[in-house]
Structure 1
């Protein structure tokens, strides 16, 4: 697909002033580095320990640095660039919207905002009624929780370990991984529970069926001990993202829905990372026979070309605010430039058959190749995933499942995994690296040729992981 969108301009890239430039301009690169290090404060980083790579250009599934080094983007940046770099349909939609109405406040009705909300509702769950737009995924989580608490009159939120929901107050408290630790408890009414993960089961399960049964029993006990009358919602990533591409085992999500119904609790599906085609569905929950009450989205709704997120709201929750005001709002809710790219996303998905190609490439190309990796490389303890969203669990011992690097490893302890990542980058692939996993999440428009080439690079990098293997 990206071949159809080749840039005709003969320049290597266009600079900040709109001038055509060639790769290898050390002065331009130096200025980008100096401004970044001089004035930009980066997230999740010790500012003196980083050296961000200056990027000059992106196109399709590829981006280039100022020296002309080319990287296949196997992480879709932060798993948001579903339609790739510089998709002409998205760029055109933003340009045309800027030309006719660049912005308008959310209290006013706007054609493109309403059109996008309509399309999202029509492609979501039965009983969906409306959309509240935010500026990104963390805000979507914050507002989904607020909607749940305000409509139910209850305060407590249950979320899983091995999860990431964002870095704002309630969202980071709900997060069930190490990035939460240094932020303390900002929202004291969040309780964590264990979700299913057969490979590293917290329930000593040996089959997906056992894992489902025991994980649901654990959750029900948690509900009972916390008090169902105090719990507003259960929040979960439909398919866990950064923490391992954990696809729920058969029956788990319907089981959670049944528990929510039994105890009068709302179900919030966090689809910020997996919504809009990543798993081969408009929303990942649509493959698991479950209907949520609220759904959060961001990232893939417009591939991050302009910040946008939101919450899909059920009829029942929507109606709770028919006669009383909802206590919340955002200056840029449903920004027209962002919404224009969102509407274009729906058009592009249909025109280019995105969902169908994601299912095809995932089943026909990725899954068989990862199965081959598991047979060839001892360091691959498990592979798992769906669509164009997969993970390779790297280990030093298959029998004990000991990971390639310890949990939350840093410094020298992380050296083996860092060496695998470095091998990928040296060969021209930018991987999605997390914990002891290589995760595969390329743009959904990636050509089959580039997808295979990227998998070839990972195959070679796994030789590095194998060199650390200590098991039999």
Structure 2
């Protein structure tokens, strides 16, 4: 093993992992849609790491912007204005829905959600926050408690004012629905009942991933988000759209909320805003909430809020995405490559229960039994078959994104058609392992 590997195992404590059971791949470099290890073996990055390298690895314009900013002004405190932060805020607000002109910068997605919730609570004078069970909002204290998936269990003290409900997911409907229209209607009725039973006057916000990411890329049915907006308006509840994973081109739009003609009160972002080249997140704030803090100090901040290197990377990323049509490319990939290609894969494999997604944001739902829809791995866990499928993808030269019983197709939004089809072919071949389980 290399010195890098040995030092990692001796000194690095990894996230979401049993430390003694890890054997991490050592990555030596990356470019575009590929990474390579210290032996020079190249891998197609079908994960965008943790779904953040939307503009691809080592984009020369973003690298150059970081270098130029480092030579000009490496860092400055958040009370002071600087050109990179001001321009990044302008570019982000320009792409947000009308009436959302202010940006509060954070270091990442979890603290963006923490601050959005704090703003909603202070604005409304209420404390409870509602979120779905199939969701992920970050690893910090409030963010992990509004998270719905099993990763919250170890930190869930039932004391953070968070309440969970079921969101729409027709393939595994909690509402015995048989159509998208039924799923939408019944999911909204369920949410209405939760609100009324929790007490509308106690609820500060509903936080939703516009399109849930790690939880399964379940595109909401037509009318659902508009219905949530209507319930929020009826009860004076703030709607927070978590766009940490789905924002900045991932779904073929600047924000996933653009697909649904709904305007939230707060939008959280991170990841794709600068493709993770330097840590950055933030909250886009509606005018009503901005006004709450016009003459009242907002009680929150971060040492590195709007860090110049991160902000310069965001300016270069957003500008380059616009100039090179990267958002449009993601949309085209969804309609021309991933949608048709995944439909063909679903037709060929008994272990594929469903494929779903938009743009460069897709999930393959794997099942052990197509009739009962028994997942190929349990909710909150893995299985030998899933582990073997992941290993087969890596052996064939592709880094997959897997969660529970799903493979997610989430490569950089700049991926070429040939690379995208090569990745799909690798998945196609690996899924024979799942078919053997079904057989």
Report if TM-score (shorter chain) is over 0.5.
Answer: yes
Distance 2:100 2:385 in 1: 46
Tell me the CA shift for residue 220 of structure 1: 0.3
TM-aligned CA deviation for residue 112 of structure 1: 1.1
Deviations along 1:25-66, whole A, 9 cap, x unmatched?
xxxx51001110111111111111101111111011000111
Cα displacement (A) at 1:187: 4.5
Which residue among 175, 186, 192 is the counterpart of 2:164? 192
Secondary structure of 2:431's aligned partner: helix
For residues 184 and 347 of structure 1, what CA distance do their matches in structure 2 show? 40
- 2:420 — aligned with what? 451
Within-5 A mapping of 1:93-242: 93-185=65-157, 187-242=159-214
Partner of 1:58: 30
Q: Alpha-carbon deviation of 1:118?
A: 1.0
- Name the counterpart of 2:367: 395
C-alpha deviation, 1:361, in angstroms? 1.1
SS in 1 for 2:239: strand
For residues 37-436 of structure 1, the aligned pairs below 5 Å read 37-185=9-157, 187-410=159-382, 414-436=383-405
1:72 to partner: Cα distance:
0.4
Retained in 2: the 8 A contact 1:392–1:437?
yes
Shift of residue 441, structure 1, vs aligned partner: 0.2
The TM-score normalised by the length of structure 2 is 0.99
Q: In the alignment, which residue of structure 2 is the partner of 1:26?
A: none
Question: Quick one: distance in 1 between partners of 2:24 and 2:333?
Answer: 32
SS at match of 2:29: strand
CA RMSD of aligned residues (A): 0.9
Give the deviation of 1:386 after TM superposition.
0.4
Distance 2:328 2:19 in 1: 42
Partner Cα separation in structure 2 for residue 165 and residue 459 of structure 1: 31
Deviates more, 1:248-257 or 1:185-194: 185-194
**Cα distance change, pair 187–102 in 1 and its aligned pair in 2 (3 A):** farther
Answer whether contact 1:170 1:187 (CA < 8 A) is retained.
no
TM-score with structure 1 length normalisation? 0.92
3-state DSSP of counterpart to 2:230: helix
Q: Distance in 2 between matches of 1:67 and 1:280?
A: 35
> Using the alignment, how far apart are the partners of 2:156 and 2:183 within structure 1?
31
Q: Is the 8 A contact 1:170 1:186 kept in 2?
A: no
Contact 1:79 1:273 survives alignment (8 Å): yes
> Aligned partners of 2:283 and 2:378: how far apart in 1?
36
**Moved segments of 4+, more than 3 Å:** none
Contact 1:198 1:206 in 2 (8 A): yes
1:437 aligns with 2:406: yes
Equivalents in 2 of 1:320, 1:186: separation in Å? 29
8 Å contact 1:129–1:318 — kept in the other structure? Answer: no
| Partner SS, residue 468 of structure 1 | helix
Which SS does the other structure have where 1:334 is aligned?
Answer: coil
Q: Please, which moves more after superposition, 185-194 or 99-108?
A: 185-194
Structure 2 CA distance for aligned equivalents of residues 126 and 224 of structure 1: 30
8 A Cα contact 1:173 1:187, kept in partner: no
Whether contact under 8 Å (1:198, 1:211) holds in the other structure is yes
Deviation of the 1:119 alpha carbon: 1.1
User: How far off is 1:379 after superposition?
Assistant: 0.6
Q: Is the 8 Å Cα contact of residues 169 and 186 (structure 1) preserved in structure 2?
A: no
Q: Distance in 2 between matches of 1:186 and 1:270?
A: 22
The structure that has the greater radius of gyration is: 1
Q: Distance in 2 between matches of 1:90 and 1:409?
A: 37
Gaps of 5+ in 2: none
Alignment partners' CA distance in 2, 1:120 and 1:407: 36
SS in 1 for 2:44: strand
Cα displacement (A) at 1:186: 6.6
SS at match of 2:438: coil
